[in-house]
Amino acid sequence: MVVCKNFLVDNGSTVKLLGFTLDPELSWGAHINALCNKLSRVIYLLRRLSVDMPHSFVKQSYFAFFQSHVIYGILLWGHTAHVHRILLLQKKAVHILNNADLLAHCKPLFTKECILTVYNLYILHSLLDIKKNMCLLPVNSDVHSYNTRNCGDLTIPRTRLQKTSKSFPVSGLSFFNMLPPIIRELEAKKFEKTVRTWLSLNPFYSLTEFLDSMFEGIIDYL
């Protein structure tokens, strides 16, 4: 391992920088490997705590020690194919919180505990970042003068690589444009509450599953 001023190079294959583990292909596989190792230790902690501590304390520990690791930098790696490994660990954590059988269906447990899956966390934080910077982002009507159905949508930049088209901020812009206009125009706190509530009641196990949903029924939570 070579120690540099601001980062560590591990045998020339990965770089550790600001809490991220970067691999040469920037696939985020190495980072998620490291993250899963941390989360596995938290799973052990939650299991031990669940024996003697009340449910509320174990749940607080989940948010403090598990979810805090998951959301760190999630906008950078939340779109990758490796994310399903984190979801598997989340399922274990939710089973522990509910003292449920390992074969029990997890979606009702996520909803019961108001815990967002790793995919839902990526969607939420993507939308919140776009909402926060909405005034700085161009819309289609700024690019052309045609009165089309999508003239009020945020402009999605053209990308050459498929990897770029699936990553943030392009993915976040796509998610935001899926929202009904009445939701997009909400005040920031109301926007977050509405989106978070809808996501907590719709635990997604993949981004494909989310994209198929098209935010169905979200207006009901205004």
pLDDT digits (tens, 9 = 90+) for 171-203: 999 999 999 999 999 999 999 999 999 999 999
How far lies 136's CA from each of 129, 139, 215, in Å? 12, 10, 24
28 conformational bin, left if phi > 0, alpha if psi -120 to 50, beta if neither: left
pLDDT value of position 122:
98
Band the pLDDT of 78: cuts 50, 70, 90: very high
Whether pLDDT at 2 is above 80? no
pLDDT value of position 148:
65
pLDDT value of position 140:
82
**Can you tell me the mean pLDDT for 77-99?**
96
Amino acid at position 64, single letter? A
122-151: per-residue pLDDT in tens?
999 999 999 999 999 999 876 665 566 677
pLDDT value of position 170:
96
Band the pLDDT of 163: cuts 50, 70, 90: confident
**Can you tell me the mean pLDDT for 88-97?**
97
Interaxial angle between packed helices 118-132 and 84-98, expressed in degrees from 0 to 180 and rounded to the nearest 10 = 110
Band the pLDDT of 3: cuts 50, 70, 90: very low
pLDDT value of position 103:
83
- Distance, in Å, from the CA atom of 111 to the CA atom of 175, rounded to the nearest integer, reads 21
- Distance, in Å, from the CA atom of 6 to the CA atom of 17, rounded to the nearest integer, reads 7
46-72: per-residue pLDDT in tens?
999 999 999 999 999 999 999 999 999
Answer yes or no: pTM beyond 0.85. yes
Band the pLDDT of 7: cuts 50, 70, 90: very low
pLDDT value of position 162:
77
